[in-house]
Structure 1
């Protein structure tokens, strides 16, 4: 355990110990940089976002943390099952290659704790129960942060800041005030945990199961290794407010919507909900910029979409990796700071925009044409204003994001979704039909802002042609 008080200065300050912060911190420490991580909570702590994508595996391998996660005994997720819009179909991860045959359904308190402990083992100076109160800027650059803990208060200066503070949004929401919520995806999620549930016989082993409702939302069901099933309802704010008022509260709304989902109701027959309901709202947003002089926004501090395609941890760890690569390239003067910041901004934003389009398309096609929920999820002109939607769509359908070693299984998962979107009743994820796309810009033809990501012999950025 490190000293209770953080040092007065560090190469890189990481704010937040979730997957984005722990990934960035561990990778930077592995490159030999001095890294301090300040986390306001004491881990383990509760968090939602339990269903992970196969892209997790190559990221864990890059971190050297796969064994630490495997030891936790999480449920292995080999695909997904959909009872959606009157159709039943499945996605299986077989055929993605040996590096991405499965993912995990995790208890996030345990998963996040494992990643934070791994970062500590790599030499990161981790200080829990230490809240960052403010960020100071000098000549437009982030230079110092103030903190408080049981040990007192203080300030720490740094060369680069990674804001992985999640929904709190230290830089974008609190200081720069550049976060905006999407007109689409103004949804509410409410969920609880059940014991004694029956399995979905048609689903792949350990699969997440998604069940759409005819008019106003959908349910998730996620099996966890502690013997519980996470069951959550996602609905739009208008429907949530109206139904809660007419039915007499959140509990009544949750029970009513379960009754309207016969397959899920049968799954829960005889089961017991063992936790109170939890509620989240207004969780879909994006910051105007993801990076600037001396700072990088990682994970939920930059953006969050929607739980439909389980992209939260993927984007968190992916952005943590991009931030680490960008910062280490700048610290080693392989590229200029402005170049590194531009690479990060474009690479992370492009990944986010691609998923934004996919989530919107999924809602658009599979909800009933007259459903209020479907209409509410459509991207408005304001949502589209700052997006390169045409460019992003071309990347999705053309496979321009292909990596020769196909490290990112999640992208093939999303590519395979095109088959059920076209109306197929069942689809397997495998074979050669799924386009191999990835957001890892490692090849020269995938260069962003004239730079490409390099993983070997060490993590960083290189100019095209180098």
Structure 2
């Protein structure tokens, strides 16, 4: 094994959460190593972004590139609830400062964020496989062992960040995970080169399907539509046992739609893809020497396109908490505990609303009232900011001054730092011998 290299933070995974955290910490002058097991660009599902992540993208300095490269997303068309008529939510009507987000091709989007982390100063190694995490005698994570270029290497760090997605390199070993049994879903999707756009052509389509499940329709460009069917995993397994293919299942879902089926010719469907969509949450998002963000920490059914937002928002908060703790190691439980509690609260509230919305038999007004109720709750307690769960999740950074240590914590840290400084001065001035 080659010589150990030392960093402030090692990040396992170069997806949106890992690249965001690495870029933000590197921007603050921290030494960061990103270990990505694949070679980018690599295919990944999840093409629709919500407005709530724009402030983080602004801080990373990539908004102009997003605007130049990707299709705008201005709202959501929903076919849901007792009302048979589609209903639309326009981002410009939410009262926020952002009237659009983007539909992105994730291979290009993820490559953009990883390249940006490099530009901001992070060391990024692709095709780097993490073999194991390293722990000291008391269980504190002190780094990783990884293989890159055929050579096994070791990197040590004050903190190791698990941003490895569903692989959960750290959380699988050091904490428990809870799966939401009612949201053990799978997604079957494909792409259409020809399609009839919605009346508002930049919108995403979210449609409940007769017989169960729901479909998305995302216009990536004027000549490419992503169309997917999300259904219970048990339903897909039953179909397989009956000899029906995933193409059969997708076309059955499409036939049960009212709007999606009018957008495409089924014979134009491309290659069918599948992915499990199991909502889960880790018991803890941090421990001694480690932090988890993105899908390694938690994942929720993508009904509201919250995946990338949740991952990058978690990374944004974690970067602030880690930056504080690297200066004040004694404040770990306070700063990372606040990150953990806020991130867990975000997950819980989105999960509760997704479950509420999964009942397709309510009135439109009930869904809106619940979303507005969530908004009032956030504004009143100033915990994590207003979330508009129908029209897109509004800006966490804009609405919350996330201080990982709190005012009292900062005062205590300053006093501790002053005391240590005085002690060091006294020791230096003391006579030797």
| CA 1:96–1:262: 2 relative to 1, 3 Å | closer
Q: Deviations over 1:131-178 (max 9, x none)?
A: 1111122112110200012241111110011110000001112x2251
| CA 1:205–1:252: 2 relative to 1, 3 Å | closer
| CA 1:66–1:441: 2 relative to 1, 3 Å | closer
Counterpart contact for 1:16–1:38, Cα < 8 Å: yes
The higher radius of gyration belongs to 2
| CA 1:288–1:393: 2 relative to 1, 3 Å | farther
Residues 149-298 of structure 1 mapped to structure 2, 5 A cutoff:
149-173=148-172, 175-176=173-174, 178-201=176-199, 204-225=200-221, 227-246=223-242, 248-269=244-265, 272-274=268-270, 276-281=271-276, 283-298=278-293
In the alignment, does 2:77 pair up with 1:81?
Answer: yes
| CA 1:205–1:331: 2 relative to 1, 3 Å | same
Residues 20-169 of structure 1 mapped to structure 2, 5 A cutoff:
20-72=17-69, 74-85=70-81, 86-96=84-94, 99-138=97-136, 139-169=138-168
Q: Secondary structure at the match of 2:278?
A: coil
Q: Deviations over 1:326-378 (max 9, x none)?
A: 000111229711211101110111111110011011013x2489xxxxxxxxx
Q: Secondary structure at the match of 1:188?
A: strand
| CA 1:170–1:334: 2 relative to 1, 3 Å | closer
Counterpart contact for 1:75–1:225, Cα < 8 Å: yes
Counterpart contact for 2:26–2:122, Cα < 8 Å: yes
| CA 1:447–1:320: 2 relative to 1, 3 Å | closer
Q: Secondary structure at the match of 2:48?
A: coil
Q: Distance in 2 between matches of 1:250 and 1:464?
A: 58
Query: Alignment partner for residue 15 of structure 1, among 12, 19, 22?
Result: 12
Aligned-pair Cα RMSD in Å: 3.1
Corresponding residue for residue 426 of structure 2: none
Q: Secondary structure at the match of 1:233?
A: strand
| CA 1:50–1:33: 2 relative to 1, 3 Å | same
Q: Secondary structure at the match of 2:190?
A: strand
Counterpart contact for 1:55–1:314, Cα < 8 Å: yes
Residues 418-433 of structure 1 mapped to structure 2, 5 A cutoff:
none
Counterpart contact for 1:42–1:128, Cα < 8 Å: yes
| CA 1:436–1:93: 2 relative to 1, 3 Å | closer
Q: Secondary structure at the match of 1:52?
A: coil
Counterpart contact for 1:293–1:338, Cα < 8 Å: no
Q: Secondary structure at the match of 1:413?
A: coil
| CA 1:41–1:331: 2 relative to 1, 3 Å | same
Q: Deviations over 1:47-82 (max 9, x none)?
A: 11111100121111111221232232x110001001
Query: Structure 1: any 5+ residue segments left out of the alignment?
Result: 370-391, 418-428, 453-460
300-309 or 145-154: which moved more? 145-154
More helix by share: 2
Counterpart contact for 1:57–1:99, Cα < 8 Å: no
Q: Distance in 2 between matches of 1:403 and 1:222?
A: 33
| CA 1:464–1:199: 2 relative to 1, 3 Å | farther
Cα offset for 1:114?
0.4
Paired residue total: 403
Q: Distance in 2 between matches of 1:87 and 1:335?
A: 57
Query: Structure 2: any 5+ residue segments left out of the alignment?
Result: 364-370, 415-433
| CA 1:8–1:361: 2 relative to 1, 3 Å | same
Residues 340-379 of structure 1 mapped to structure 2, 5 A cutoff:
340-364=335-359, 366-367=360-361
| CA 1:236–1:26: 2 relative to 1, 3 Å | same
| CA 1:196–1:394: 2 relative to 1, 3 Å | closer
| CA 1:54–1:35: 2 relative to 1, 3 Å | same
Residues 446-461 of structure 1 mapped to structure 2, 5 A cutoff:
451=406
Q: Distance in 2 between matches of 1:89 and 1:345?
A: 36
| CA 1:80–1:465: 2 relative to 1, 3 Å | farther
Counterpart contact for 1:58–1:99, Cα < 8 Å: no
Q: Distance in 1 between matches of 2:381 and 2:76?
A: 23
